[in-house]
Structure 1
Amino acid sequence: MLLRTITSPLTAGSRAHPRSPVATRRLLHALAPRVVVLGSGWAGFEILRDLDKRRYDVTVVSPRNYFVFTPLLASTSVGTLEFRCITEPVRSRGDNFKFYEATADRIDLDNRAVLCSSTVEGVPGQFAIPYDKLVVTVGARSNTFDIPGVREHAFFLKDVPDARRIRQRVLDCFEWASQPNVSPAEQSRILHFAVVGGGPTGVEFAAELSDFVRDDLRRVYPHLMDRVTLTVYDVAPTLLGTFDRNLAAYADARFRRQGIRVRTRTAIAGVTARELILADQRREPYGLLVWATGLTATPLVTSLGDRAAHDPRSGRILCDDRLRVLGPDRRTPLPDVFALGDCATLTNHGLPATAQVAKQQGIYLSRVLNRLGRATDWTVDDERPFTYRHLGSMAYLGGWKAIVDLQKPGAPASASKRTTGGNGLRLADYIGEGRLAWLFWRTSYFTMSVSPKNKILIPVYWFLTWVFGRDISRF
C-alpha cells in the first residue's frame, strides 16, 4: 500500500517549512498501513519480532502481556523450572508498536475494525481498533467435548496460570492427605492424580509429575507413597498416536515400568468434584484431574460464523496456501485478513496445532508483509505458497528418558535399529528413545528459547533442580 502524499506548507519564499527528522518519521509512521495482530503466542510473537515496523503501524491485542514457551510448560507445573524461565514480555520487543492487554471479541469485516474488551482489572467498556491488515493468531481452547463437569472441575495446561494452579493443587493434595483425621481410603482418593489425554501434553505432564513424586515428595511424605497413583486415560488405542509406533510402544512400556497406569481405549462420560465417570459407568475417585485431550475453536473464531470458512471437524478457520482467510465459498480470500497458528488450518493440507507450525507461519507471513510494504507492483499472489517443514516431535517420559520422532506425521513406522541389522539407519534411529533422546530434547528446547535471559535461566534452574531438588513450598 502506498503512503498518502505528504504536502508541507510553503513559506512566503516558496521554501518548504523545515521538519525535524524525528517528526518526519513519526508522521510517516502515522500514515503507514495499520497492521493489527490478535494474540501473543508463537505466531503473533514471531510476527511482532520480524515485521518491519518502519513501514507499518503495528498494534498487538492479547489478553496476556507475555509470550509463553509452551513446550516447557509442564516442567513449570511441578517446579522443574520456574515460571519466568518460559515467559517473554511482549513490550520487550521495543516501543515502536502499540500493545493493548485485551480480548478481541468480534471482527467487523465490513468496517475493517476489531471490537475489544480490556482485561486489565477495573477498566470497563469496549473499544474498536481499525485495521488495514488483520492477523488472527488467537490460538485455541482445550476441547472438553461437552462432557459434563469437565469445565468446572478439571485443570487445563495452556498457560502459566494453569501451571501455577496445578502446582498448588498437587501440594494441597499431599498436605490434605497428611492430616491426622483423613482415612486411608480418603488418602488414596486424594492422591490419585488423573490425566485425561495421551498426547504430548498429557504424557509430558504425567512424566514430570512422576519425577516430582519420586525424586522430591518421597523424601518429605514417605508415609504416603503407598497411597499415590497416577493414571493416564485416553480414548485412542495407544499413547502418542502421532508418533512412530515403535516409539509409542516404548513410551507405554516406560510408563508402566514407572508405575504410571495407562488406560487406553477408555472414554470419559462425566466428571464430578471427586470422581471420573467412565463410559461403562464405572467411577474412579481422584484428587487432581488434568485435562489434555485436544483443542477447539475460541469464541472469536466461532463469532465469525458464516462470514469465513471453517473446518467442519475442528472448527478452525480455513485459509488458502498463503494464509489468507477464506470466505464462505471456501475459495475467495477475505480482503487483508490472515490467520495463523492453532486457530487456523489450510484448506488443501491439514496442519497440526503445534508450536513449530505457528512459528514457521509467522516467519512466512512477516516476509510476505515486509515485501508487500516495499514493493508497489507486487501482490500476495506473487509469493510462493506456505510450505510446512516438519522438524520432528519430542516427548519427555520421566527419569531422564525421552523419545524423538524425526519422520513426518503419517509416514510409515520405521523399523528400529535393533531389527535392521545396521542397514539404512537414520539420525532418528540413534536418538529415537532413552537417555540420548532426553539430551536431544533438552538441547533443542534450550536452543529454541527466544531471549538471552531465558537461555541463561533455563540451564541454571535445571542445574539447581538436579542439585537441590524441586521447591515444595506452597504459596
Structure 2
Amino acid sequence: MSTICHSSSLRGLCTSSSSLAGRSVVKKYLSTTAAKRPIMTTTPLSLTGGSWSTSSTSHFLNPYHQQQQRGIRSVGKTQGRVMILGSGWGGFKLLRDMDKNAYQVVAVSPRNHFLFTPLLASTSVGTLEFRCITEPVRGYTRNVEYHQAWCDSVDFEQSKVDCTLNLSTVPATHITDPTTHTLRQITNNQKNQLSLNYDHLIIAVGSYSNTFNIPGVKEHAFFLKEVSDARKIRSRVLECFERAEMSRSDEERNGLLHFAVVGGGPTGVEFSSELHDFIREDCSRLFPGLMNHVTLAVYDVAPTILANFDKSLSEYCMTKFKRSGIEVRTGTVVERVEDGKLVLKDGKQIPFGCLVWSTGLTENPMTASLENKVLKSKSKRILTDPYLRVLDNEGKVIPNVYAVGDCATIKDHELPQTAQVANQQAIYLRKALNKLAKQPEKSFTDVTAPFSFKNLGSMAYIGNWEAVVDMTKINEKAKESGTLAWVFWRSSYLTMSVSMRNKMIIPMYWLMTWVFGRDVSSFQEYDRRKRLMNAEREG
C-alpha cells in the first residue's frame, strides 16, 4: 500500500509504507518540525443556523484582544493605553509613529483608512482612482488595537469612551437564482456597542462640512470630504450627461448641464478646475453635441475666491477661470436649495444638475457631545492650552487628554483647519509622549515646549496644467503661478503620499489619464432589488 505525501519536503522521503528506512526518516522529520511549531488547539467548525460557529475564538485573537477579554487594562506597557480617536491627518500620523514598546496604542475610527485629501478632487472626475489616495488602517496596526467604530461619548472621570461599531449591513443575497427568486437579508446578532478604557486620550476626530443651516443643502447638495462623496459626484456628473443626451428640450439640457460649486476656497476651486478639465478633455469627445449647453459656476459670499491666498494669486485665479469659461459669482448669498434649483437671496433661481457644497467646516457629533464637558471656541472647536491639552468647561486642564486637528484649536490663538496643522500637531504630540515614556518622573510640560505652528504655505490647482503656490508666510516673494507652480504642486503631493505603493501608482494613473483619458465608468448601485420586488408584487 502506497503512502501519499502532500508536503513538498516529504515527497523525496516517502515512497512506500513497506520501507522501514523511509518511515524512520519521516518520523524523525515530523518530530523535529512539530517541536519547532507552536501548538495550536484546533476546534471543529459547525454550520449552525446558516452561520459558522466555533466553541472558542481566543486562539485567533492578538495579545491585546486576549488581555481585553480578561479585563486587563494594559498589556505590560510602562505608560499604559494611548487611545487615538480618528484616522485623519492627526490620528493616522500618531497611530503610525507612537512608541509601541512604551504604550499600548488603541485606535478608534469609523473609517478604516487614511484619506489623502489634497487629491480627493482628482478622484471625483477620474483623474485618479480612489485607491491612489487611501491607506488602510489595518496595514499599520501591528501591535495596535483597532476598532472600526464611532465614538459616542467620553467619560473623563472614569477614563472611558463609549463606541458604536461602524460595520455596514451585509447586503441582501439571493437564495438561488438572482433573477427569479426572492431576496434574503443576512443579519447578525453581534453587539454593536463597546466601552474602552484609556490612560491617555487623543481626540483627532476632524470636522464636518458647514451648511450654515441653509434649508435644502443636506438634501440636495454633494459634499467633498470622503471617498464616498467623490464616488457620488462622479456618478452624478456622468448621469447628468446621460440624461441630457436623451433629453429633447434645450431648457432641460441647460439645467442638467449647469454644474454649481458653492464655496471659493481651495476645495471648491480645485474641484471646479478638475471638473472643467474633465468636461473639456473627455466629455467633449464623448458628448460633442452637448458642449454648447454646459456651464460651470463658482458661487461665494466673499468678494473674491481663494481669499486666504496672496491677493495677486487670487486675482490670477479669477482671471484664469474667466478665460477658461468658468463663471465666478462673488458676493452671492444662497438663501435655500431646492430639488435641482439654487435660490439666491435676491430671488433669482438657478437650475442645476449637480451642486457641490464646500463653504467651510463645523463640529461633528462627537465634539458636539462634549458641549458641557470641555471649553469651546465660537466656531465650536475644542479649546486646548499651548501644550494641546484639553480644557474643561472651567478652563482647567483635563489630565492626559489631548486634541489635534480640525476639531480643536489653542485658546486665544486660532489655528487654521488644514491638514498641515493636524500633521504638525501629531508630530509634536508624538515626540512629547515618547519623551515622557522615557522620563516618567517628569511632567508633560517638563519634556516639551508649547506647540508652535509653522505655516509652510498653500497650494491650489486651477486647471489646464496650472496652479498657484503661496509661501509668502515664509518669504514675501515666495509665490508662483502657472505651469511651474503646477509641477511643484504635483511633485509635492506625490512625495507627501504615505506609502511606496501610492507613490508608484499615482504617477501611473496620471500618465494613463494623459494618454488614454479619464475613466468614465459608473459604479453606482442599481435598484435591481427594488425592481425585482416590484416584479414579484405585480406577478
Please say whether Structure 1 and Structure 2 have the same fold, judged by a TM-score greater than 0.5.
yes
Residue 229 of structure 2 aligns to a residue in which SS? helix
TM-score of the superposed pair, with normalisation by structure 1: 0.89
Root mean square deviation of aligned Cα: 1.9
1:358 maps to 2:403: no
Q: Give the 5 Å matches for 1:101-112.
A: 101-112=148-159
Query: For each residue in 1:358-389, what CA deviation from the matched residue of structure 2 results, as whole angstroms up to 9, or x when unmatched?
Result: 00111110111111111122111111011111
Residue 373 of structure 2 aligns to which amino acid in structure 1?
R
- State the match for 2:112 in structure 1: 65
Larger Rg: 2
| Contact 1:239–1:248 (8 Å) recurs in 2 | yes
SS in 2 for 1:103: strand
Match of 1:46 among 84, 93, 97: 93
Residue pair 1:234, 1:267 contacting (<8 A) in 2 also = yes
Alignment gaps of 5+ in structure 2? 1-37, 39-61, 170-189, 524-539
Aligned residues: 434
State the alpha-carbon separation in 1 of the partners of residues 373 and 149 from structure 2. Answer: 23
1:145 aligns with 2:216: no
- Tell me the residue number matched to 2:511: 463
Partner in structure 1 of residue 239 of structure 2: 172
Aligned residue among 366, 380, 386 for 1:321: 386
List structure 1 segments (4+ residues) > 4 angstroms apart after TM superposition: 26-29
Structure 2 Cα separation of the partners of residues 404 and 41 of structure 1: 24
> Structure 1: how far apart are the matches of 2:164 and 2:463?
41
The corresponding residue for 2:76 is: 31
Equivalent residue letter for 1:322: Y
Q: Is the 8 A contact 1:40 1:67 kept in 2?
A: yes
**TM-fit CA distance, 1:171:** 0.4
**Higher relative contact order structure (alpha carbons within 8 Å, sequence separation ≥ 6):** 1
Give the C-alpha shift of residue 328 in structure 1: 1.4
Q: State whether residues 150 and 165 of structure 2, in contact with CA within 8 Å, keep that contact through their aligned partners in structure 1.
A: yes
Matched, 1:348 2:415: no
Residues 228-247 of structure 1 mapped to structure 2, 5 A cutoff: 228-247=294-313
Instruction: State the one-letter code of the partner of 1:354.
Output: T
1:453 alignment partner in structure 2: 501
1:162 and 1:358 map into 2 onto residues whose CA distance is 22
Give me the whole-angstrom Cα distance separating, in 2, the residues matched to 1:96 and 1:242: 41
Offset at residue 182 of structure 1 (A): 3.6
- 2 CA distance for matches of 1:143 and 1:188? 28
Q: Would the aligned equivalents of 2:472 and 2:478 in 1 still touch at CA under 8 Å?
A: no
Q: Which amino acid aligns with 1:102?
A: A
- Residue 292 (structure 2) aligned to one of 226, 247, 252: 226
Q: Distance in 2 between matches of 1:190 and 1:94?
A: 45
Distance 1:28 1:153, change over 3 A: closer
The TM-score normalised by the length of structure 2 is: 0.78
In structure 2, C-alpha distance between the alignment counterparts of 1:455 and 1:296, rounded to whole Å: 32
Contact 2:110 2:150 in 1 (8 A): yes
In structure 2, give the amino acid aligned to 1:393.
Answer: S
Query: Are 1:284 and 2:331 counterparts?
Result: no
Distance in 2 of aligned mates of 1:329 and 1:198? 37
Secondary structure of 1:307's aligned partner = coil
Letter in 2 for 1:31: G
CA distance in 2, matches of 1:401, 1:154: 28
Q: CA deviation at 1:231?
A: 0.5
Secondary structure at the counterpart of residue 99 of structure 1: strand
Match of 1:373 in 2: 437
For 2:490 and 2:442, locate their aligned partners in 1 and report how far apart those are by CA, in whole Å. Answer: 42
Q: In structure 2, the residue corresponding to 1:73 is in which secondary structure?
A: helix
Please tell me whether the aligned partners of residues 73 and 197 of structure 2 are also in contact (alpha carbons under 8 angstroms).
no
Which secondary structure state, in structure 2, belongs to the residue aligned with residue 232 of structure 1? strand
1:29 Cα deviation after fit: 6.2
**Structure 1 residue 298 displacement after superposition:** 0.6
Does residue 211 of structure 1 match 2:277? yes
Which one-letter code corresponds to 1:162 in the other structure?
D
Selected match of 1:162 from 224, 229, 235: 229
Shift of 1:427: 3.8
**SS in structure 2 of the partner of residue 456 of structure 1:** helix
For residues 38-73 of structure 1, give each alpha carbon's deviation from its aligned partner in whole angstroms, at most 9, with x where no partner exists: 000000010011100111111111111100000000
Query: Identity of paired residues, percent?
Result: 53
CA separation in 1, counterparts of 2:226 and 2:337? 22
Conserved? CA contact 1:42–1:341, under 8 Å: yes
Question: 1:16 aligns to what?
Answer: none
Inter-partner Cα distance in structure 2 for 1:153 and 1:28: 46
CA contact (8 A) 2:261 2:298 kept: yes
Distance (Å, rounded) in 1 between the aligned partners of 2:462 and 2:195: 46
Who is 2:258 aligned against? 192
